[in-house]
Amino acid sequence: MTIPVVHLKKKEENRILSGHLWVFSNEIQKIDGVPEIGDVVEVRSGRNESLGFGFYHPRTLIAVRIFSKEFVEPDADFFMRRLTSALQLREQIFKTPFYRLAYGESDFLPGLIIDRFGSLFGVQILSAAMERRKGIIFDVLKGLFSPEAVYERNESSTRALEGLPQSKAIVYGDELSADYGEEGVVFRVHPFTGQKTGFYFDQRYNRIFSRQFAPGSEVLDLFSNEGGFGLNMAIAGAAKVTAVDSSDLAVSNMKLNAEINRINCIDTEVSDAYDFLNRSIASGRKFDVVICDPPSFTRNRKSVPVAKAGYRRLHEMVFQILKRGGILLTASCSHHILRQTFEDVVASAALKSGRTLQLLHRAGASPDHPVLPAMPETEYLKFTAYRAL
């Protein structure tokens, strides 16, 4: 079998040589062969040196997603080895089997995300190459873990870029829930009906970090989902937690989680966050600690200016309900918004609101979302803690 070869234009190889794993369509000089969607291709520099092997897509900006330096057939054996390596890392880090098992390119499985909730697995497929091989992937999961259930959570809009429809299915097993313990707080996770694959593991360390500001505080958990931060703050001694999310389902699960943990100091509210902020501003209500963890504001690079304006407006409102000397724990999960950009926007909102900031802490996603140093696209979460005087 001859493998099609993608030749890069002259001088386009440096990024790949440094460890970046995407070839963009405008960097290609010519292709030997006629690869189809999801086929394996070899990538060579303008000087004909081999740079690696990847999955090809003829109609996307990301033309090749490299998964190996040497040739390897992406068969069951390959997935077994990659998932075993990913598993080793997670088992080293976490005491219980609840984590992001596979984080796409960062685990050299481009476009494949797998979250593990004990014996339940939520799979998100974001590339056509992985979609084509999903039967193999599900078989390998079965062989490695004998799961009780596997769910396909393919609702991401980015699938459209690869020509894939959105879908959601139970691959096998039933619709089940699993109890995930986070340093003493229990979350009942629903991997088939919850948002994304059921739970936001990326903020795990940041939720634990936030606990130190809880004792005796009046806390607002804005964009709370199922109470990730709020319940951590409650268990760590907050006087009162108000948790706000626009999703009915998220809030009803948050109530269930509060019950399971016997937490009474949490007020939950189904509301648009901006409505809540406006009402609080109007009534003069203020908080000691505000957690602000909105969904992504960007879809692509073009939406960056709108996203920046959105963050500025949101933080201007937040500063109006944060007491002087209060703590702001704020996050951006928007791709394309760099950490510096995010911090600049928060700083300018503070300035406009007459507040002086002390930056206390910067963090990213928890380590089951590894970052490839040469590939900034693998880093999306920016979490920052401030005291606002």
Six token digits for residue 191: 């991997």
Q: Least separation, in Å, of the C-beta of 327 and ligand SAH?
A: 16
The answer to whether 356 and 2 have CB atoms below 8 angstroms apart is no
Q: How far apart are the first and last CA of the chain?
A: 67
The nearer residue to ligand SAH, 149 or 250, going by C-beta atoms, is 250
Calculate the CA dihedral of residues 227, 228, 234, 237 and round it to 10 degrees.
-170
Site for ligand SAH in 117-136 (CB under 6 A): none
333 an active-site residue?
Answer: yes
Q: Exactly one of 149, 222, 333, 381 is catalytic; which is it? A: 333
Place of tokens 């939520």: 122
Choose, by CB under 6 A, the member of 158, 246, 341, 348 that binds ligand SAH.
246
Verify binding: residue 98, ligand SAH, rule CB under 6 A: no
Verify binding: residue 247, ligand SAH, rule CB under 6 A: yes
Letter string b/e over residues 142-177, b meaning 16 or more CB atoms within 10 A of that residue's CB: eeebebebbbbbbeeeebebbebeeeeeebeeeebb
| 297 C-beta neighbours (distance < 10 Å), count | 20
Neighbouring-strand partners of residue 222: 244, 292
The nearer residue to ligand SAH, 45 or 242, going by C-beta atoms, is 242
Q: Least separation, in Å, of the C-beta of 21 and ligand SAH?
A: 27
The answer to whether 250 and 195 have CB atoms below 8 angstroms apart is yes
Q: Least separation, in Å, of the C-beta of 199 and ligand SAH?
A: 7
Site for ligand SAH in 207-226 (CB under 6 A): 207, 223-225
Choose, by CB under 6 A, the member of 83, 109, 125, 273 that binds ligand SAH.
273
Q: Least separation, in Å, of the C-beta of 244 and ligand SAH?
A: 6
Q: Least separation, in Å, of the C-beta of 370 and ligand SAH?
A: 19
- CB proximity list for 313: less than 8 A, separation 6 or greater: none
| Nearest residue (beta carbon) to ligand SAH | 228
The answer to whether 57 and 37 have CB atoms below 8 angstroms apart is yes
Verify binding: residue 383, ligand SAH, rule CB under 6 A: no
Spacing of C-alpha 373 from chain mean position: 17
Q: Binding string to ligand SAH for residues 178 to 207, with x set by CB under 6 A, is what? A: -----------------x----x--x---x
Distance from C-alpha of 74 to C-alpha of 5, rounded to nearest angstrom: 17
Site for ligand SAH in 288-327 (CB under 6 A): 293-295
Q: Least separation, in Å, of the C-beta of 136 and ligand SAH?
A: 31
The answer to whether 1 and 41 have CB atoms below 8 angstroms apart is no
Number of residues forming the site for ligand SAH (CB under 6 A): 18
**Which residues in this chain contact ligand SAH in the complex, by CB under 6 A?**
195, 200, 203, 207, 223-225, 228-229, 245-247, 250, 272-273, 293-295
Catalytic site positions? 333
